[in-house]
Structure 1
Amino acid sequence: MSYDIFAHYYDEIMDQSVYDSWLLYVEKYTAGKSGLNIMELACGTGKIAVELAKKGHQVTGVDLSDEMLSLAYNRMQEESVRLALAVGDMRSLEPMGDFDVVTCFSDSLCYMSDENEVAQVFQSVNRNLGDGGVFLFDVHSLHQVNNVFPGYQYIYQDEEGAFLWESFAGDAENSVEHDLTFFVDSPGNPGLFERHTEYHRERTYPLDVYQRILAETGFTDIAVTAEFGVSEVREDSPRWFFACRKA
């Protein structure tokens, strides 16, 4: 499936205000500082990376998909900012510099299949942070994965086609599976639609597991919050936000 299709619907269905909330969360830990060296893991189409660059930071966007990075490059050109973009697997990043901040948002870490892969990501981040550098990320909560997602359905339509999102409980503990189906106009065949599908698996862990793995991989001053850092964690919080420093 073309990532142009996925990106079109992703940007359409995503509440745009959520990007402002992510940026405000970053600003809590960068307030009063300019020209920071920031890496955004799983940068996708580059929306957050571009906004950070607009604030005067030097931003490197890393994503596993070169197609997504192509869309991030187009966004960078349209917004007249400069980003460094690199294809990379966040489980096995080589040292790319001593970054002041590394971010990983939009529950991207939940695509890791087990605790070992989560630890690999944290080790990769640690290798790329300068001493005292800040690591910011979010994940789905247990409540979101086990009580909200199973049975969830969403349908979106516009002039270019339709998008169906269905979620089911996964086989692994604290996991969820998403079926995404896209119906888009067939090029050269007006009135006919092509069907494209995507299948996503996500998994999360109890808070103490994330905290333990962070400590084991060289992080300290671990703070966990909800609602983009403005609330304490509750049993029904949909997403957890982590802030920590390289020891």
Structure 2
Amino acid sequence: MTYEEKIRSLAEYLKKPGHNFAFTGAGVSTESGIPDFRSRGSGLWERVDPMKAASLSALRREPAQFYKFFMGVRESFAGAEPNAAHYALARLEEEKLLAGVITQNIDGLHRAAGSQKVWEVHGHMRSCRCLDCSKPYPFNVLLDQYRSGTNPPRCSQCGGMLRPDVVLFEDAMGEDFYKAYHALSGCQLLIVVGSSLQVYPAASLPELAKRLVIVNREPTPWDSRASLVINETMAGQVFTDLMAVLGLD
């Protein structure tokens, strides 16, 4: 099947009655200038051991080093804007062709693009909380302390250490994961965009879909079970072409 035929098939899948969802990973945001984590040859986790840099035990053991790494990752998001893929997914939801977006990303770009129903299964950087008393804070409280030289940032109520509301390695999954799992019950179509489908339990979500389409630069463990696999570097181009076929460009 040619690329053009795959795009037309995907458009036809989206038009069928039923609940359609998108499931996105880091590859959907690379065109926005945000580095990928697992791509061969360029992924962050090829250079850094995530258990030593981005785990709950790393935060507890060496909090200052954890925050030095985490804030470096956060700075890579600074100034990032949604790209064509983010905007297309938001438009598909607006047109009732998608029921929502489930994302592994913590960059907030789906919301910035206008998506209304977003399940951030690995958390986000809008808030933080105290590790000891669980008092919640806006993320800027943590950020302002770090920038003023307080590393690790501290809770004003009990003096405990603050942590970002992202799912670290060794963390339990957050509430959004279970909401997404429930939402996918009876899912007709799941479009996976820019995910290696290697990080569990999030990578188990495709098993809930009746039909699976994968848009990713590299092969995934789920390719053999997908109705369509579109291996393209630029997800934005795939969705630009899809929107044109749907008459939504």
Same fold at TM > 0.5:
no
Per residue, is there more helix in 1 or in 2?
2
Per residue, is there more strand in 1 or in 2?
1
> Structure 1 length as normaliser, TM-score?
0.36
> Structure 2 length as normaliser, TM-score?
0.36
